[in-house]
A = this chain, B = another copy of it.
Amino acid sequence: MDLSREIAAKVEQSFANQAMMTTFGARLTRLAHGMVEIEAPILEQCTQQHGFGHAALTFGLGDSAAGYAALSVMPPEAEVLTSEMKIHLLSPAHGDLLRATGKVVKPGRRLVIVQAEVHAISGDLTTQIALMTGTMVPVFPK
């Protein structure tokens, strides 16, 4: 399902305001009702001690994709905050590109349960490097 222009604009504006995403070199690449995709290269400044992408990079991309997926199903005036998130790191983050895909598992006005997968893409090869599940909390203006 396509998003309303209003909600799409809200997600894009919020994403643009996250300096961390700029530091990661991340781009919002897909935006649908309940599903958001973010891609980023593995910049040298975001690596760990063996030259792979740092867990903070993988986590940050997946958390943002999941958060915006939650935001995409909320009324336009809502914001969302991550309450908790679990990440399984399945493989080292190396390749040309990381792609995080966030999805809504269960929407709600009080809690939105979300899931994200992060894949590393190297040429033709796509490897899942992380599986995440978490809880987003909608916040409404008072």
Binding site for B on A (CB under 8 A): 14-15, 17-20, 22-24, 44-50, 54-57, 59-60, 63, 81-90, 105-106, 110-111, 113, 115, 128, 131, 133, 135, 137
Contact = CB atoms under 8 A, between A and B. Distances in A.
A111 B135 CA distance: 11
A3 to B, nearest CB: 18
20 contacts: A18-B48, A19-B44, A20-B56, A22-B45, A23-B23, A55-B60, A55-B82, A56-B59, A81-B89, A83-B111, A83-B113, A83-B135, A84-B84, A84-B89, A84-B135, A86-B87, A88-B105, A88-B135, A105-B131, A106-B128
A57 B49 CA distance: 17
A59 B57 contact: no
Given A20-B57, A47-B18, A59-B60, A85 B87 contact: yes
A113 to B, nearest CB: 5
A14 B113 CA distance: 27
Contact of A84 (B19, B23, B87): B87
A77 to B, nearest CB: 15
Contact of A133 (B24, B50, B133): B133
A63 B89 CA distance: 12
Contacts of A57: 20, 56
